[in-house]
Every structure is written in structure tokens, then in C-alpha cells.
Amino acid sequence: MPQTEEHLDILHLLGTRRGIFVITKADLADTARLRDVRDEIELLADGTTLAGAPVIEVSSITGIGLDTLRAEIVRQLDGFQARRATGVFRLPLDRAFVIKGHGIVVTGTAMGAEVRVGQKLRVLRSGDEVRVRSIQVHSESVESAGLCQRVALNLTGAEKLELARGDVLADERLDSATARFDGVARDSSRREARAQEQHPRAFVHRHNRDHRARDRARRRRRDCTQVRQLRAARRRRCGGSRSRATVSSSATKPIRARSAAASC
């Protein structure tokens, strides 16, 4: 499926090297079909950071493969070093809603350092300040939360701010933001042509929101193509005028034709 290919491309671009391909509902397919799916996965993963990752067939109905899957998860997590929290707290919002009796609640994946109950946060890019009333992680109340955790923050002072997906809550010391950065765009070599055809415009996905980007290289190519097309059309018009001037025997028509050609 296209969405599965996109997810694999994202994991590849992120440099993810630990992963498991899981074939679900294995009890509903015969051996030949399972073999075909395995071949498709191998072809799809070829050339990515997850090439050679284990493929496990499971069924939640019969329990086939579940023990194998659990054992593989434990094996891959053995010796895994989690990233250390660095910098300051940041929370790109993916949801913002109101709970009666509690007020504004926002959710997202925490980045940077920890956030604690009572801490002041700043909304970027507006610069407004809010305060954390309470924190939940997986529906359990906690006093603090940090890097890579899915968190829900109940806020005070945010009732009139109209927070939405793509906004960022950050440590109050972050009082400025930028709308521009330099980056390198890299397409998946396996689907580059199709991506160019389906998505002629450039977008950047940042902080849970798609932003229109300026692809200067693509714009230059497009401008050069338009210039060549205009020049070709002008040559065709001028060429037609010159040909009429040579075949005309009238004393007045060649003069008009030559003046039209000169204007080109």
C-alpha cells in the first residue's frame, strides 16, 4: 500500500535500523499467499536501513507467532541505549481540546528536557505564556514527563489562545522563533519519479503540520522550461512571417511581413 511505502521511506530517512515486519491475520492466508507477502516485504525493504529485518507471521485469533514476536522485541531492546534528554522542553501539539471542568488539554510527543506541574511554558510563535496545571502519561497522572513520552497537559491561561495542531509549547526561556531554515531535500530513489509526478509542489512536515516550501532548484528548472517554450513559440511566429515575405510578390505585403519579423 502507498501509505506503508511512505512509512518505510520515513523510517529509512530517519536512519532507523531496528525493526520487525509483522504479517497479521496469518490464519486467514494459505502458505502460498504468505510466501508472496514475504517476497513483497523483502523487495520493499531492499536498499533501506531495515533491509534484512525479521519477518514474523502472527494471528491474534489463534495466537500463531505471538510468542516469537514478543521474544524478538525483547531481543532487539536488549542493550538499547535510549537518547539522553538535552536542551529545553518542547511539545509540538497534535491535538488541543476542552474538557468540561478542566479547561484546555493539549497532547503531543515531548522533546528535549522534562516538563513539571506548575511550570510556565511559552506558545510559539505567538509568545503567549501558559502554565501546566496537570500532566498525564498514558492516562496516568504524573508530576513530570520528558523526552519521547506521549503526554497530555492540562493548561491554565490558554482559554483564549485558540491552540491548534502544529503549535509548539516550549520552555518560557525560548522567546523567539524562525520561519526559515536551510535543509537538504532527499527523495527516495525507489519512488522519486512517482513522487515528482504526484507532488509537484514542495512541502515540509514540521511539528505536526505541513508547510509550503520554496524549492528554488525546482523553480529555476520550471522558469527555464517556460523561457524555452516562449522562445520556441516566438521562433515559430517569426519563421512563419519570414516565409510569407519570401513567397509574396506584392510590393506592399513583404514590407509588412518584414516589419512583423523585425518586431520579433
pLDDT tens across 20-32, in order?
A: 999 999 999 999 9
Q: For the whole model, what pTM was predicted?
A: 0.60
pLDDT of 102 over the 50 cut: yes
pLDDT tens across 167-222, in order?
A: 999 999 987 777 777 777 666 555 554 555 555 566 666 666 666 666 555 555 55
98 vs 85: which has the higher pLDDT:
98
* Nearest alpha carbon to residue 152 among 97, 209, 100: 97
**CA geometry: angle at 178 spanning 156 and 151, to 5°?**
35
Average pLDDT, the chain: 80
pLDDT of 142 over the 50 cut: yes
pLDDT tens across 34-66, in order?
A: 999 999 999 999 989 999 999 999 999 999 999
Which segments of 173-215 does DSSP mark as H helices, in order? 192-198
| Distance of alpha carbon 45 from alpha carbon 12, whole angstroms | 9
**Backbone φ, ψ for residue 194 (5° rounding):** -65, -40
pLDDT of residue 237: 76
